[in-house]
Amino acid sequence: MKIGIVGSGAMGSGIAQVVAMAGNDVCLYDSNPIALEKAGANLEATFQKLADKGKISLEDSELYFNKIRLVNKLDELSHSELIIEAIIEDLDIKKDLFQKLENLVSEDCILASNTSSLSMASIAASCQKPNRVIGIHFFNPAPLMALVEIIPAVQTDPALVSQTKSLVESWKKLPAIAKDTPGFIVNRVARPFYGEAIRILEEGVADCATIDYAMTSLGGFRMGPFQLMDFIGHDVNYRVTESVFKEFFYDPKFKPSFTQKRLFEAGFYGRKSGRGFYDYSENAIQPEPNTNPELLEKIFKRVLIMLMNEAADAYFLNIGSVEDIDVAMTKGVNYPKGLLAWADEFGLQNLEKELDELYNFYHEDRYRCSPIIRRLAKENKTFY
């Protein structure tokens, strides 16, 4: 298959690597020749490294690299059967790009966006043939992360969904089909991992190190929420939180925090800037967590309860199936268990009770229990 990719940054070049290694011919486009040259050098080095480690043969490393053609003229993508854009998360810029692409390609070419949270319906509406537009959302780094969210717009041809799913599987990725709502599955369901952790910090229950330790030691998460936000960067993570809050018509569940907003405003983006929730300067002494078992359990349970509730609500509102939601969270952000399977283990009656206790204490909408938890608990049923 001839695949065009727009944007040669980390995501675009990562997608190029994935689809080339699956045997496709790739045109990687970027208007910036310096960025394009850098992407080419990085891809060549990556294939060489894979060969050096014995993961692929030297012949295959050359074959895969030669399947990727670097181009700086958009019309070079005119023969593509599928184009995936991986550019800046700006709706107007994406819409303008899709209008240009539609005038270049054949009527059968699939136009896909790698957007992580923008409206696919809005992107599709910019095209004369919106039925061929679909979301194909990879996770960073694309070669390593198994999940790909597939997001049909309301205008998307239903047959294109199954076709795209087969394509994603042919790239040796795991597809999860998501409804076209802000954040899709992963960026919606993951919000409490950050938001509730910050709330616990703001209330003075524990510091960052203790909250992170609770989630990694008791929950088995690879990184704690503050470590992860610093790793992602507050310029990215805060903007996503702000966008999801706005796009959900200011639902209090997704309300951003002033704590993170101030870090963002100060330019304390995390690891990339040398300071975020933690200090990453050379001689900085990292804080030690409080290892009190009762405190750690309290923290872990509160964050987990909020995550399970959000996953349940995503299912209740048909954002994804039970299986797709759990696959999305385990393969998209490496959660140790699917949140709905975890909710079954926790006990839905227990989950309902814990959420009601939080709501009765705070009287805030963020703690409202999802109706599907109440229904299943009442009927003594489970998600699985």
**What is the reported pLDDT for 119?**
94
- Report d(CA 263, CA 282) in Å as an integer: 20
Q: Given a cut of 90, is residue 205 above it in pLDDT?
A: yes
Q: What is the mean pLDDT of residues 216-234?
A: 96
Catalytic-labelled residue, pool 13, 80, 114, 116: 116
**Catalytic-labelled residue, pool 8, 85, 126, 149:** 149
Looking at residue 336, its amino acid is P
Q: Is position 370 annotated as part of the catalytic site?
A: no
pLDDT above 90 (res 236): no
The set of residues, in sequence order, having a beta carbon less than 8 Å from that of 113 and lying 6+ positions away, is 84, 85, 94, 98, 120, 123, 133, 134, 135, 136, 137
Q: What pLDDT is recorded for position 336? A: 97
Annotation says 321 is catalytic: no
The whole-number pLDDT of residue 117 equals 84
Length of the chain: 384
Report whether pLDDT(314) > 90.
yes
- pLDDT at res. 31: 95
Q: For residues 100-122, give the mean pLDDT.
A: 95
Confidence label for 25 from pLDDT (cuts 50, 70 and 90): very high
Residue range 125-146, pLDDT digits in tens? 999 999 999 999 999 899 999 9
According to the model, what pLDDT value does residue 284 have?
A: 92
Helix (H) or strand (E) holding 13: helix 10-21
Q: In the predicted model, what is the mean pLDDT of the chain?
A: 96
At residue 93, the pLDDT reads: 96
Q: What is the CATH number of domain 188-379?
A: 1.10.1040.50
| pLDDT reading at 228 higher than 90 | yes
Supply 204's token pair.
Answer: 């003075």
- Range 98-102 average pLDDT: 97
Catalytic residue among 61, 114, 137, 309: 137
Q: What is the mean predicted confidence (pLDDT) over 274-300?
A: 96
Q: Which residues of 2-19 are buried (b: 16+ CB within 10 A; e: fewer)?
A: ebbbbbbbebbbbbbbbb
Spot the catalytic one: 13, 187, 243, 309: 187
**Residue 137 among the catalytic residues:** yes
Asked if 233 and 275 count as a contact pair (C-beta separation under 8 A), the reply is no
Nearest to residue 239, comparing CAs of 224, 227, 229? 229
Share of the chain above pLDDT 70, in %: 100
**C-alpha distances in angstroms, 230 versus 185, 212, 268, 277?**
22, 12, 9, 7
Query: Directed axis angle between helix 191-202 and helix 293-316, to 10°?
Result: 140
- Report the sign of the C-alpha dihedral through residues 313, 318, 323, 324, in that order: negative
Amino acid identity of residue 133, one-letter, is: V
Tell me if domain 2-177 and domain 188-379 are identical in fold: no
Can you say how many angstroms the Cα of residue 96 is from the centroid of all Cα atoms in its chain?
24
Distance, in Å, from the CA atom of 211 to the CA atom of 290, rounded to the nearest integer, reads 9
Question: Which fold would CATH assign to domain 2-177?
Answer: Rossmann fold (3.40.50)
- Give the neighbor-by-neighbor strand order of the sheet with 133-138: 68-71, 25-29, 2-6, 82-85, 110-113, 133-138, 147-152, 174-177
Residue range 286-306: mean pLDDT, rounded: 97
Domain parsing of the chain, residue ranges? 2-177, 188-379
Please give the pLDDT value at position 101.
97
pLDDT for 243 equals 87
Q: What percentage of the chain has pLDDT greater than the value 90?
A: 97
pLDDT tier at 302, thresholds 50, 70, 90: very high
Q: Which residue has the tokens 């703001």?
A: 202
Q: Count, in order, helices (H) and strands (E) of the chain.
A: 17, 8
What would the pLDDT profile of 352-365 be if each residue is shown by its tens digit?
A: 999 999 999 999 99
Mean pLDDT along residues 242-249: 92
Active-site residue flag, 79: no
